[in-house]
Amino acid sequence: MRVAVGPFEELPTGALKRITVEGLPPLVIGNADGTVFCLKDECNHGEANLSEGELCGFELLCPLHSGSFDVRSGKAVKRPAKLRRSASTSRSTTASSMCAPARTPTPVVSSRRQAASRPDAPNCNDIRSVPTRREDQR
């Protein structure tokens, strides 16, 4: 099935957009470094729309718990998303057939992912290491 959903120019790099196509569940389309993809717009973990998430290279982060999916395969790559299931096939297999073929993967270095994971980095200086008497240290 081929459906035109809009001009490519309206989908700049990093953009995510929720679309509806008759007969299918709500979908998310996006542009990951020039690769256009389409997945079911639902995390396989919590009740969240992936279109409200964040694209880091080829990784699509769920807005709720930062589980993530590889947009090229639809496969979940980071918990709490369920790793053995993909986003697209979790509850419907129809959407996965709409995944655009991926271009040759390019290495992705993302600093945004770390920034998003935790705003208040804990301070390890608060942890005191106490000497022990283990034999291999004597």
Which positions lie near other proteins, rule CB under 8 A?
Answer: 44-45, 65-67, 78-85, 114, 117-118, 120, 122-124, 126-136
Q: Closer CB to other proteins, residue 104 or residue 123?
A: 123
At 27, list the tokens: 């979908």
Sheet of 35-40: strand order equals: 16-19, 27-32, 35-40
Smallest gap from residue 12 Cβ to other proteins (A): 29
Q: Nearer Cβ to other proteins, position 2 or 128? A: 128
The smaller minimum CB distance to other proteins, of residues 35 and 44, is found at 44
Q: How far is the CB of 91 from other proteins (least distance, A)?
A: 11
Q: Which backbone phi and psi does 111 adopt, to 5 degrees?
A: -95, -15
Q: Whole-number minimum distance, CB 4 to other proteins, in Å?
A: 35
Residues in Cβ contact with 53 at an 8 Å cutoff, skipping those fewer than 6 apart: 16, 43, 60, 61, 62, 63
Round to whole Å and give the CA distance between 97 and 89.
9
Instruction: Decide whether 9 or 126 has the Cβ nearer to other proteins.
Output: 126
Task: Name the minimum Å distance from CB 61 to other proteins.
Answer: 12
CA-to-CA distance for 41 and 51, rounded, in angstroms?
6
